[in-house]
Amino acid sequence: MYEFTYHRPGSVADAVKLLADPDARAMSGGMTLIPTLKQRLARPTAVVDLSGIGELKGITVSGGTVKIGGMTTHATVASSADVAKAIPALAKLAAHIGDAQVRNRGTMGGSVANHDPAADYPGAVLALGATVHTNTRAIAADDFFNGMFSTALEPGEIVTAISFPVPEKAAYVKFPNPASRYAMVGVFVAKGPAGVRVAVTGAGANGVFRHAAMEAALAKNWSAAALDGVTTPVDDLNGDIHASKEYRAHLIGVMAKRAVAAAG
């Protein structure tokens, strides 16, 4: 990696000050940034490590909402009895991100802010109609993701927490890429305060997206069979050596049915 200055601020305010440098990069778990630095694909002047900010960690459940701090690790979410009780699909999703090392380092805020098209959490955020809280505002999930590796976050804006309305039913099923084990197709289905929502991750050329046709079908009839004949246009899907656009489109249907079945 190239040389950079390392900071570990103790508060969001201090972190924001350090991120005023446009070439500084915030680091949460570092599960994407560190490999990128090691491969010399990024050259920040400074890395602002958010791991010293206590106020960004933790899980609270109250009034039908699960609120998770941005610096909460996947392992913490996966093992949280509160999350498992309120939104079991979210705990299960967290338990299957990457491997044990990644789950112990990677964070929800980092994953969501990065918006890797093959990441799992964006599916949950979008399908559950979550709200992304930052140091300056609250952003609805529908307004947050706007393209591959792209979000509504402004430079220097930090994801402080994400709040999820507790759904009536929800499940996430993914088809991992055989090599990387990232989601090649992941479908999160939910029925709850935000209505019936289906979010697809891993497959879209523009990152996570909602599947309107599936939502309409499931709103009428919440069952796997309701998705029979519901197809996914291939135009905006990714194709690569492991899965063509057509195969991904097919897998979206299979994963969605399995998710609905799992949600009950």
Partner 1 sequence: MAFEGIGASVKRREDLRFLSGRGNYTDDINRPGQLHAVLVRSPHPHARITGIDTAAAKAAPGVAAVFVGADLAAENIGGLPCGWQIHNKDGSPMAEPPHPVLAIGKVRHVGDPVAVVIAETKAQAKDAAELVSVSYDVLKGAPSLEAALRPGAPLVHDEVGGNLCYDWHIGDKDATDAAFAGAHKVARLELVNNRLIPNAMEPRAAVGEFDTMSGDYTLYTTSQNPHVIRLLMGAFVLHIPEHKLRVVAPDVGGGFGSKIYHYAEEAIVTWASAKVKRPVKWTADRTESFMSDAHGRDHVTVAEMAMDANGKFLGLRVHTHANMGAYLSTFAPCVPTYLYATLLAGTYTTPAIYAEVKAVFTHSVPVDAYRGAGRPEASFLIERLVDQCAIAMGMDRVEIRRRNFIPSSAFPYQTPVALQYDSGDYVATLEACLKASDWAGFEARRAAAKARGKLRGIGISTYLEACGIAPSAVVGSLGARAGLYEVANIRVNPTGSITVFTGTHSHGQGHETTFAQLMAAKFGVPMDQVDIVHGDTARIPFGMGTYGSRSLAVGGSAMDRAADKIIAKGKKIAAHLLEADAADIEFKDGKFQVAGTDRSKALAEISLTAYVPHNYPIEELEPGLEETAFYDPKNFTYPGGCHICEVEIDPDTGVVSVVNFTAVDDVGRVINPMIVEGQVQGGVAQGIGQALLETCVYDADGQLLSGSMMDYTMPRADNLPNISVGTSVTLCTHNPLGVKGCGEVGAIGSPPAVIGAVVDALKDHGITHIDMPATPQKVWGIINANRPRMAAE
Contact positions toward partner 1, by CB under 8 A? 2, 39-40, 175, 177-180, 182, 241-244, 247, 250-251, 254
d(CA 116, CA 179): 16
> Which residue, 84 or 254, is less far from partner 1 as judged by CB?
254
What is the Cα Rg of the chain in Å?
A: 18
Whole-number minimum distance, CB 43 to partner 1, in Å?
A: 11
Tokens 């088809």 belong to which residue? 175
Distance of CA 93 to the CA centre of its chain: 10
Nearer to partner 1, 169 or 250 (CB): 250
Q: Which is nearer to partner 1, 243 or 263 (CB)?
A: 243
DSSP 66-120: EEEETT-BHHHHHH-HHHHHH-HHHHHHHHTSS-HHHHHH-BHHHHHHHT-TT-S
CA distances from 100 to 33, 73, 106, 187 (A): 18, 11, 10, 22
Query: Which of 199, 201, 197, 161 has the alpha carbon at shortest distance from 183?
Result: 201
Nearest to partner 1 of 210, 258 (CB atom): 258
Phi and psi for 245 in degrees, rounded to 5? -60, -40
Smallest distance from partner 1 to CB 251, Å: 6
For partner 1, which is the closer residue by CB, 211 or 248?
Answer: 248
Distances, alpha carbon 136 to alpha carbons 50, 88, 184, 221, in Å? 16, 30, 33, 40
Output the smallest distance, CB 83 to partner 1, in A: 25
Of residues 168 and 228, the one with the C-beta less far from partner 1:
228
d(CA 234, CA 251): 12
Task: Give least dist CB 248 to partner 1, A.
Answer: 9
Shortest spacing between CB 264 and partner 1, in angstroms: 19
Q: What's the closest the beta carbon of residue 174 comes to partner 1, in angstroms?
A: 11
The rounded distance, in Å, linking the Cα atoms of 230 and 115 is 26
Q: How far is the CB of 60 from partner 1 (least distance, A)?
A: 35
Cβ closest to partner 1, residue 150 vs residue 180:
180
Q: Tell me how long the chain is.
A: 264
